[in-house]
Amino acid sequence: MFSFSDLFQWDRFITPTIIKTFYWLVIGVICLFGLSGIFAGLTAMAISPFAGFLVVLESIAGAVVGVVFSRIAAELILIVFRINEHLGAIRDQGGGMR
């Protein structure tokens, strides 16, 4: 985790810590939307069974795709910060061009 003093120092980034929390929050929202779509599809089955079944399938597929894309987005952000850390380590070793 990060401490309050990290907010005023620029030696350590707080975004990698926050992005993990944000990722789980997004997963929760995606699951809630998926469940909402499933229940809407089950309700629509009373009117049209085929259309309701399609809504249920679309909700499940949308939730799975949402989870995968949110993971990819979170990993891309974390990769940028990891690249920055590795470049800083290379610079500190003196391996950079001068």
pTM: 0.74
Q: Are 30 and 66 in contact (CB under 8 A)?
A: yes
Distance separating alpha carbons of residues 6 and 14, to the nearest angstrom: 7
Sketch the domain layout of the chain as residue ranges. 14-89
CA separation for the pair 35, 23 (Å, rounded): 18
pLDDT tens sequence across 34-54: 999 999 999 999 999 999 999
pLDDT digits over 61-78, tens only? 999 999 999 999 999 999
CB neighbours of residue 77 within 10 Å: 16
For residue 87, the tally of other CB atoms under 10 A from its CB is 11
pLDDT at 2: 59
